[in-house]
Amino acid sequence: MSGETLHVFFLGTAGALPTPMRNPPCIMVRRGSDTLLFDCGEGAQQQMMRARTGFTVDAIFITHWHADHFLGIAGLVQTLSFIGRTDPLPVYGPAWIHEAASAIRSLSRFNLRFPISSVQMSHGSEIRFTGYRVKAFATDHGMESMGYILEEDGRPGRFNREEAIRLGVPPGPLFGRLQRGETVCIARDGEDVHITPGDVMGPPRPGRSIIYTGDTRPIHRTLLDLCSNPDLLIHDATYDDQEIERAREVYHATAGEAGEAARALNARTLALVHISSRYISTAGHLKDASRVFSGTVLAPSDLDVLELPFRED
Ligand SMILES: [Zn+2]
Ligand SMILES: [Zn+2]
């Protein structure tokens, strides 16, 4: 479907240490009726309750095996089993994913009622869903780690109603058939004439895309080959720019570096996440990112929701 809604729930925006206000990393993306989790930090299931998202998780993508990014899976699968889930749950992640899945299974005191499948991802791996795909890319975090791009399939071009009428197509069901890609036949001056979608549809339009970097130093040069003009870039911004040395040491990014990435990728919106517990306010982060990136910059709080509409074009 090309007209699906697309929402991002920031369920956990903390860095390695949670705070009373921020849970460990967990980003939920809901597209139409599909729900994907990107990272699943401790307490993710309670964040889902607080955000009233329900528990219909279709897949979990883990960026790397630092504990702040995956400890929530164990609790979540217990709850899913308890409330009667029987559908398999695929979990995607870098090397060690199979061991992680098996550890989660064996942590369960009682047998889970549904299977957990594990799929190892590496740079360039791609998982197809109906109407979109999720691509993995390598990041720079001092260990094997990756980020993910959710990319919708292209949308049909804009329907040119005036042109259709000029060609003699009567408004009504034939309009819908042309928009669905069918050729229609009309009678014009006593002759059958075929009107093709190409006669009345504009050029195809790109779908929406979201990039989630997970924990990383800036890696937008690699990313540029995979995705540009994302609707949303969710970037590691553990530190503000004053802590650039520290960021380099521990393989994280500053808000200013996230801003540079957003500018290089021509993102529409930048969301700064993985905020270190040392910060009470994100004012400095917002200032640092906005200095280099002129698009929308957000430092979401836990439970914030962002809707990504189609671009007007
Ligand atoms: Zn982390
Ligand atoms: Zn990490």
DSSP secondary structure string for all residues of 179-240:
HTT--EEEEETTEEEEE-HHHHB---B---EEEE--S-S--HHHHHTT--S-SEEEEE--B-
Q: Looking at the structure, do residues 95 and 133 belong to the same domain, yes or no?
A: yes
Region 196-222: mean pLDDT is 94
Region 197-210: mean pLDDT is 93
| Residues spanned by the domain of 85 | 6-155+206-307
Dist. CA 283 → ligand 2 center (Å): 23
Dist. CA 206 → ligand 1 center (Å): 32
Let me know if residue 302 belongs to a domain.
Answer: yes
Predicted local confidence at residue 1, as pLDDT: 43
* Dihedral angle of Cα 282, 268, 124, 13, to the nearest 10 degrees: 20
pLDDT band at 121 (very low <50, low <70, confident <90, very high): very high
Among residues 39, 68, 240, 302, which one is catalytic? 68
Let me know if residue 1 belongs to a domain.
Answer: no
Q: Looking at the structure, do residues 78 and 26 belong to the same domain, yes or no?
A: yes
Predicted local confidence at residue 107, as pLDDT: 85
Measured from the alpha carbon of residue 216, the closest ligand is: 2
Q: Looking at the structure, do residues 18 and 57 belong to the same domain, yes or no?
A: yes
Q: Looking at the structure, do residues 238 and 145 belong to the same domain, yes or no?
A: yes
Compute the distance between CA of residue 229 and CA of residue 46 in angstroms, rounded to an integer.
33
Q: Looking at the structure, do residues 90 and 123 belong to the same domain, yes or no?
A: yes
Q: Looking at the structure, do residues 222 and 287 belong to the same domain, yes or no?
A: yes
Residue 108 pLDDT greater than 80, yes or no: no
In angstroms, the Cα distances linking 196 to 2, 161, 167, 180, 264 are 20, 13, 11, 11, 39
Dist. CA 266 → ligand 1 center (Å): 25
Which residue, 200, 230, 257, sits at the end of a domain? Answer: 200
Compute the distance between CA of residue 218 and CA of residue 105 in angstroms, rounded to an integer.
35
Predicted local confidence at residue 313, as pLDDT: 61
Q: Looking at the structure, do residues 122 and 251 belong to the same domain, yes or no?
A: yes
Could you confirm whether 68 is annotated as catalytic?
yes
Three-state DSSP class for residue 88 = coil
Let me know if residue 179 belongs to a domain.
Answer: yes
pLDDT band at 221 (very low <50, low <70, confident <90, very high): confident
Tokens of 263: 């500018």
| pTM for this predicted structure | 0.93
Q: Looking at the structure, do residues 33 and 91 belong to the same domain, yes or no?
A: yes
Q: Looking at the structure, do residues 189 and 40 belong to the same domain, yes or no?
A: no
Dist. CA 16 → ligand 1 center (Å): 5
Measured from the alpha carbon of residue 66, the closest ligand is: 2
Region 208-224: mean pLDDT is 95
Compute the distance between CA of residue 190 and CA of residue 194 in angstroms, rounded to an integer.
13
Residue 243 pLDDT greater than 90, yes or no: yes
Q: Looking at the structure, do residues 89 and 184 belong to the same domain, yes or no?
A: no
Region 164-192: mean pLDDT is 92
pLDDT band at 228 (very low <50, low <70, confident <90, very high): confident
- Give the count of domains, the chain: 2
β-bridge mates for residue 35, sequence order: 30
Let me know if residue 244 belongs to a domain.
Answer: yes
Give the percent of the chain with pLDDT over 70: 98
Q: Looking at the structure, do residues 70 and 126 belong to the same domain, yes or no?
A: yes
The residue that leads in pLDDT, 54 or 228, is 54
Query: What are the start-end ranges of the H helices in the chain?
Result: 44-50, 72-82, 97-107, 161-166, 173-179, 197-200, 220-224, 244-249, 255-265, 283-292
Q: Looking at the structure, do residues 165 and 28 belong to the same domain, yes or no?
A: no
